[in-house]
Structure 1
Amino acid sequence: MPHSSGKPAMVPWRSVRRRAALAAAVTALLVGAAAPPSASPEGLGDRLFPELGNPGYDVAAYDIKFDYHGNDRPLDAVTTIAARATTGLDHFNLDFANGTVRAVTVNGLPAQFASVKEDLVVTPAVALPAEGLFTVVVHHTSDPRNSKGGGWVRTKDGLVMANQADAAHRVFPCNDHPSDKARFTFHVTAPKALTVVANGRPEGRAARGAGTAWTYSSAHPMATELTQVSIGRSAVVHRAGPHGLPVRDVVPAADRQSVEKWASKTPEQIAWMEGKVGPYPFENYGVLIADASTGFELETQTLSLFERSLFVRDDIPAWYLEAVMVHELAHQWFGDSVSPDTWSDLWLNEGHATWYEALYAEHKGGHTLDARMRAAYEHSDTWRTDGGPPARPKVPDPGRRNSIFKPVVYDGGALVLYALRQKIGAAAFDRLEREWVNLHRDAGAGTADFTALASQVSGQDLREFLQDWLYGAKTPPMPGHPDWKAAARKPA
């Protein structure tokens, strides 16, 4: 769904009297918030996550309030969603799980609601007209105690978010699909001893009882899977990036000095990426180092999440750690600013981030791109067997939704880019990369869009070439390297 700019206003009513009478009547009818007769889960039909996202509306903005009581207790929350109906709606669904819904209003009137699987089905008191603007307010809890499916991650001293690929709705009600990007505002109240940081710019903080209320807002639309709120005993280190870009790093307060040698490298990494693909696309950037064991790092928008252990160990080569940092930084262009239309387009995110990670490793450590891509080519057929082709990954394993993140979309996706550069030449490839992030900034795009732009920029019809590389069960011959061979899979 395309993003609608601006914040929709409340749907007008003909008279205050009519609104008050209608509200009273609806309130009387909705005791117990009975389930509407048609309550059932819906979805956008994404090939990998068919029940994720919801049809019938386009979200413009989220305004989310959290009241934090400790990472072993549910947060009290209020999520306000401003949206536009794309068709007439007598009911609509939000994605939401792992919390208790207390009340829902639509345009100020109490609404019926029911939880069905991982959907919250809402029936407004008055049906919504096509192209009508509407506001939904959901009073709910957000439970951090069960993070097995993603969402909140409990740290040693608080919480962070890890919502990729389909776990934002385990934190707050939303249209949880990257095709519906929106602007976000977060208001978080936490004890005074803790620091809160979220995506985007700080908009102020104020004392509230025994705590502090913090506000952050995003200047650019964002996919739900990229949201981030950090609560903990953190230090926020400010520095200047290229062209005066604000850089703020969020680190455990006790580790501020020991991790500074790594965090301080971010400005030069941003400058390096800008030299490859053009201006950084957002209002600020920084690394969020969390004292938690996640098993992954994550490109949450403007504030990339990293495990503390990466930065305090002494057995990780500097070039490797810096390349990992650049991987998440590169995602700010590829995956965050330009989001995937569907989850099958994941290779556009991970393939590009791996590509620039490999180039940076070559730049800093002498580990050549050619050597890494040759090794990837040798494994490519095995990866395709295990995970599917790069642009058509296998559906998630039962109970393991993040199993779509396999080598075929990382180094396998980067291998597609290497083959493309071999085919069209380095100059055309570099133009393609810059035009891709410029053309689709703050929006979404898919594999077909990339193929079309590559053909346009290079002056070659690349549809058949990229079809084989992106969807073939076997890895095609590598242009310029007829001696490269894909290794046969070893018997189990």
Structure 2
Amino acid sequence: MASDVAVGNHVASDVAIGNHVASDVAIGTSGGMVGMTTRRRQYRIVLGMVVVGTLGLTGCQDGAGKPAATAGPTPSATPSRDFQPGADGVGDAYFPKYGNAGYDVDRYDVKVRYDPKTDQLTGTTTVSASATADLARFNLDLAGLTVRSVTVDGTPATHTRQGNELVVTPGAGLPTGTRFSAVIGYDGKPAPLRNKDLGDGGFLHTSDGAIALGQPESASTWFPVNDHPVDKATYSFEIAVPTGLVAISNGTPGGSTADAGWTTWKWSESTPMASYLSTLVIGKYRVKTGTHKGRPVYTAVAESVRRGAADTAMASTTKVADYLETVFGPYPVEAYGGVVIADDRIRYALETQSRPVYASVFFGPNARNQVVAHEMAHQWFGNSVALKSWQDIWLNEGFATYAEWLWAEHSGGQRAQQAFDLRYQQMEQSVWKLPPGKPGAKNIFSESVYQRGGMTLHALRVTVGDAPFFKILQTWAAEKKDANASTDEFVALAERISGQQLDALFDAWLYGTKRPAQPKRAG
């Protein structure tokens, strides 16, 4: 993303299409409309197809193919197994081949060594998982790197590559419910994943190190992974780099050890995390550490960034988080932090779990902390409460955008109602034509998703009143903590708490293709 007009994450451009924009109003695109009743019916149909597709019935016969004898007590028998390959995608409506089916990952233990001089990465990743079907084989997502070895439960396994899919065939089938451990050894020159609509994501070599970052996918460029938010897991990272460089990742810092010119940095993320929220930042950084409310605080700013605004913004992280706790409920992850990078290819911010990554362009002479409020809000909405489907990304971005408005009001700036009114009057027609609840795969980072997403929440607030509205937000964060959620579930919760029927409101604001009427204030 070497341009100011970019598609893909949280863009720091005055005219941008996509993510967390350092401007008040940007550009959207067009799309269609779907009603709430239709969406719920489609959801049930799709869910039913998934369940039916995983079930089978088997009969019980004796060795001669005749019915088993019925005289006397029937001995217990082990059901026959029909081992099948796991699907090479979870079936997401927008990205059907993202992730893989047939298993659920509990934990990743990622150990990598990276040399910036040669741009060579060597890694060993242990994937601890449970089979959710009778698996003859299973897939992992891994882009570009060369696989040298694979074992499953300590036994060598056959492995092949099909594009960015690593296909693993264990020596024996894995019955449903079986816990297993796959260890993959790999190496090569990592590279980003290129998407003509959403921009580049993944591993970027830099002058003094590397950055692994991106949404909706990036992790598969540096370790094998089930790369879809529905399969959240815990993580540990051990990252060896030449001594003198810092290697930063997610979660709790575990210190560093030096040996023979290399330093290994350890990190652990024990709060379940979607894979695209993992990050790796290697280079020369000014690091600040501490604790806050019993949790570690770890911030870093690239040495090439002038001291001042970026350092001040990172120091405000815990202050912003404390305010958001009063709105959303308890802080949901195990550490605080942020990383400011200096790379012209990255002009966005991303809510990498516990430690968001920010482009330095956000922190100019007149910098505000709106972007920090946005990324910290994602720790609740997007990280703790994660998506079931990428179509519902407004649940991430609309909530984080609204957090910006709340923070501005709390800090003595523009009130949330004023932010809503400004956008209601000034947003371009193209934004109103694109429904944020069904933006299409190419437009998941459109301005409609962000701004109309935030406006949807304010329209809900005006309609139901402040007390029910903030109870809805806190209950949503609490009931869906560490889980995955959908728009239909949020609407049902809002109706339950408010006692109102809200289909018309959400249909207009999330699925309509024209500007809705101004919401009427409760009471």
Code of the residue aligned with 2:430 in structure 1: it is T
**Aligned residue number for residue 301 of structure 2:** 251
2:134 to 83, 88, 97: 88
What is the aligned counterpart of 1:356 among 395, 400, 403?
A: 403
TM-fit CA distance, 1:216: 0.9
The 1:389/1:469 distance shift into structure 2, 3 A limit, reads: same
Q: Distance in 2 between matches of 1:304 and 1:327?
A: 10
Q: Is the 8 A contact 1:419 1:479 kept in 2?
A: yes
1:273-312 alignment, distance < 5 Å: 273-293=324-344, 294-311=346-363
Separation of aligned partners in 2, 1:40 and 1:127: 11
Code of the residue aligned with 1:62 in structure 2: it is Y
Q: Distance in 2 between matches of 1:414 and 1:165?
A: 20
Query: 1:357-379 CA deviation, whole Å, 9 max, x = no partner?
Result: 12222333522322322233343
Partner SS, residue 430 of structure 1: helix
Distance 1:143 1:375 in 2: 47
- More RCO (CA 8 Å, sep 6+): 2
Which stretch of structure 1 is more off in the superposition, 425-434 or 286-295? Answer: 286-295
The letter of the residue matching 1:252 is: A
Residue of structure 2 aligned with 1:103, choices 149, 161, 166: 149
> Is the 1:381–1:473 Cα contact (8 Å) retained in structure 2?
no
Q: 1:309 to 1:156 in 2, by over 3 A?
A: farther
Paired residue total: 431
Deviations 1:238-263 (A, max 9, x none): 2443x344321111245484343222
Q: Which residue of 1 aligns with 2:431?
A: 383
Contact 1:297 1:304 in 2 (8 A): yes
Alpha-carbon contact 1:71-1:154 (below 8 Å) kept:
no
Q: Decide whether aligned partners of structure 1 residues 256 and 201 sit closer, same or farther in structure 2, where only a CA change above 3 A counts.
A: farther
Correspondence for 2:498 among 448, 458, 462: 458
Partner of 1:474: 514
From the superposition, tell whether residues 303 and 470 of structure 1 become closer, same or farther in structure 2 (CA, over 3 Å): same
Q: For structure 1, which runs of at least 5 residues remain unmatched after alignment? A: 2-37, 397-402, 482-492
Q: Which of 283, 295, 320 pairs up with 1:269?
A: 320
The letter of the residue matching 1:391 is G
Aligned partners of 2:155 and 2:302: how far apart in 1?
43
Structure 2 CA distance for aligned equivalents of residues 208 and 163 of structure 1: 31
CA distance in 1, matches of 2:117, 2:508: 48
1:213-257: CA deviations, max 9, x gaps?
Answer: 12111121100000012211122202443x344321111245484
Name the residue aligned to 1:431: 471
Aligned to 2:10: none
Quote the residue 1:328 is aligned against: 375
CA distance in 2, matches of 1:39, 1:90: 5
Amino-acid identity (%) = 38
Pairs within 5 Å for 1:47-86: 47-70=93-116, 73-86=119-132
CA spacing shift, 1:390–1:72, aligned 2, 3 Å:
farther
Distance 1:370 1:72, change over 3 A: farther
Shift of 1:414: 0.4
Paired residue secondary structure (1:353): helix
Give, in whole Å, the separation in 2 of the partners of 1:132 and 1:145: 34
Structure with the higher fraction of residues in helix conformation: 1
Relative to structure 1, the CA distance from residue 464 to residue 357 in structure 2 (aligned partners, 3 Å threshold; closer, same or farther) is same
TM-score (structure 2 length as normaliser): 0.78
Inter-CA distance 144–324: structure 2 relative to 1 (3 Å threshold):
same
DSSP-derived class of the 2:321 partner: helix
Residue 370 (structure 1) aligns with: 417
Deviation at 1:459, TM superposition (A): 1.2
My pick for the range that moved more, 464-473 or 46-55, is: 464-473
In structure 2, how many angstroms separate the alpha carbons of the residues matched to 1:142 and 1:227?
Answer: 20
Q: CA deviation at 1:204?
A: 3.4
Between the aligned partners of 1:391 and 1:278, the Cα distance in structure 2 is: 25
Give the distance between the partners of 1:160 and 1:473, measured in 2 at CA.
38
CA contact (8 A) 1:155 1:290 kept: no
Which amino acid counterpart does residue 465 of structure 2 have in structure 1? G
Match of 1:412 among 452, 471, 493: 452
Once structures 1 and 2 are overlaid, which stretch shifts more, 140-149 or 216-225? 140-149
The 1:47/1:380 distance shift into structure 2, 3 A limit, reads farther
- Cα distance in 2 for partners of 1:211, 1:166 equals 29
Task: Specify the code of the residue in structure 2 equivalent to 1:355.
Answer: Y
- Distance of aligned partners of 1:435 and 1:71 in 2 relative to their CA distance in 1, 3 Å threshold: farther
Structure whose residues are more often strand by fraction: 2
Secondary structure of residue in 1 paired with 2:181: strand
CA distance, structure 2, for counterparts of residue 244 and residue 380 of structure 1? 46
Given the superposition, is the C-alpha separation of residues 159 and 63 from structure 1 closer, same or farther in structure 2, using an over 3 Å criterion? same
The answer for the alignment partner of 2:38 in structure 1 is none
1:4 alignment partner in structure 2: none
Instruction: Give the AA of the match of 1:382.
Output: S
Indicate the residue corresponding to 1:392 in structure 2: 438
Q: Is the 8 A contact 2:381 2:399 kept in 1?
A: yes
| Contact persistence 1:339–1:445 (CA under 8 A) | yes
8 A contact 1:99–1:140 mirrored in 2? yes
CA-CA distance at 1:145 after TM superposition? 4.2
CA offsets 1:256-304 (integer angstroms, 9 cap, x no match)? 8434322222222111111211221111111101121212100000110
Say which of 187, 201, 204 aligns to 2:255.
204
* Gap runs ≥5 in structure 2: 1-46, 48-83, 195-199
Q: Is the 8 A contact 2:86 2:136 kept in 1?
A: no
**Range 206-215 or range 369-378, more displaced:** 369-378
The alignment partner of 2:394 has SS state of: helix
